[in-house]
Amino acid sequence: MNGTGGDFTVKARIAVFVSGGGTNLQALFDACANRRIVSGEIKLVISSRDGAYALERARARGIPAVVCSLDECGSRAALEDKISAHLEEHRIELIVLAGYMSILSPDFVSRWPERIINVHPSLIPAFCGAGYYGLRVHKEALERGVKITGATVHFVNEIPDGGKIIAQKAVCVYEGDTPESLQRRVMEQAEWVLLPRAVEEISKTVIEKRWRHCDD
């Protein structure tokens, strides 16, 4: 039993989209290794830019890792066609955005209802939406003087950071924090905890839906 379209695996087939160093990708690899993720398996890594260290993390584990960049493809439609071809080739069932800095079109997202999840470094609806990524999120949190921040895992829809929330975890802000120190604490205490947990939860849902469809 393996694959989709007539073949069925026990585990959900996952693609992880990245743009940088891949710390959240590493958290997923670690969760698979220590069996916090048992219902899903990473089968593909797609990066929005060449040279991202996340690609090396994947290749070191023998996982297919490809670059799909807007500069290379020339248009968003061509980019998403290329991405879709890779997803189809690897029979992907769940997409995880883990530090992915490119916005997916409403058309693309509509083809993956509740099959794309993202981790965002704030407690949505605070410090989120178009343009809110990386250190900017933590810089603005510190400028506003918040005492609690955190991370959110949510489904992806046509609105940046606007999809249904799956899980959130709060993190304390300390006097003397910098955007860099706060970013690190949010990753360690929230993102790397929530994302593997959500991937396992949604992977189970993917498997259940797959078998229900098979029974039908």
CA distance 195 to 168: 10
Token representation of residue 166: 């799956």
Strands 65-67 and 94-97: unpaired
196 prior amide bond cis, ω within 30: no
Name the catalytic one among 120, 138, 154, 213: 120
Q: In sequence order, what are the residues at sequence separation of 6 or more whose Cβ sits closer than 8 angstroms to the Cβ of residue 83?
A: 46, 68, 108
Cα–Cα distance, 89 to 157 (Å, whole number):
23
Supply 150's token pair.
């955190």
Is 120 among the catalytic positions? yes
Residues forming the active site: 120
